[in-house]
């Protein structure tokens, strides 16, 4: 690091000394490298062992299917039309007010048919609707 003497005829030195900045940045990098592995480690505990249990599902959701031709099935039983669907859903809702519904729609079915079925489900009073798809 060389300093040049300032003569009387020259103006003030306007260069910025970046050495302290580099020193501070290197210290911060070292601190980051030292602390990063500590952040990924978790608390090591020995978990207790228990017997395997099944999920506590009291009531299975209703299975509503729409095939490619627009046919409607409720729990694998074919229904004639949307009025029959609404009647069957209201009967199921009387049995269990918290019932849910899984909607299985064929990928080739017209979207308008799916929208009609969804409106019927909503009109019957069922609020919990899930759409079932396959993994790719």
Give the model confidence (pLDDT) of 96-127 as tens digits.
Answer: 888 889 988 888 888 899 899 999 999 999 88
CA within 13 Å, CB half, 136: 0
Residue 5 lies in a domain: no
Residue 51 lies in a domain: no
CATH code of the domain in which 101 resides: 3.30.420.270
pTM of the model: 0.55
pLDDT for position 3 = 61
What does the pLDDT look like over 30-83, one tens digit per residue?
999 888 877 766 566 666 777 776 665 667 888 989 888 888 988 888 888 899
Residue 3 lies in a domain: no
Residue 69 lies in a domain: yes
Handedness of CA 123, 124, 128, 133 (dihedral sign): negative
């Amino acid at each position: 690091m060389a300093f040049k003497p300032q003569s009387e005829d020259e103006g003030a030195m306007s260069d910025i000394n970046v050495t302290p900045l580099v020193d501070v940045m290197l210290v911060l990098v070292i601190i980051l490298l030292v602390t990063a592995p500590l952040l990924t480690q978790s608390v090591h505990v020995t978990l207790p062992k228990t017997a395997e249990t099944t999920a506590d599902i009291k009531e299975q959701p209703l299975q509503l299917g729409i095939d490619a031709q627009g046919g409607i099935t409720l729990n694998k039983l074919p229904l004639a039309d949307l009025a029959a669907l609404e009647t069957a859903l209201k009967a199921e809702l009387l049995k269990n007010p918290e019932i849910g519904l899984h909607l299985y729609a064929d990928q080739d079915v017209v979207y308008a048919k799916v929208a009609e079925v969804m409106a019927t489900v909503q009109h019957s009073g069922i609020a919990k609707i899930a759409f079932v798809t396959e993994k790719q």
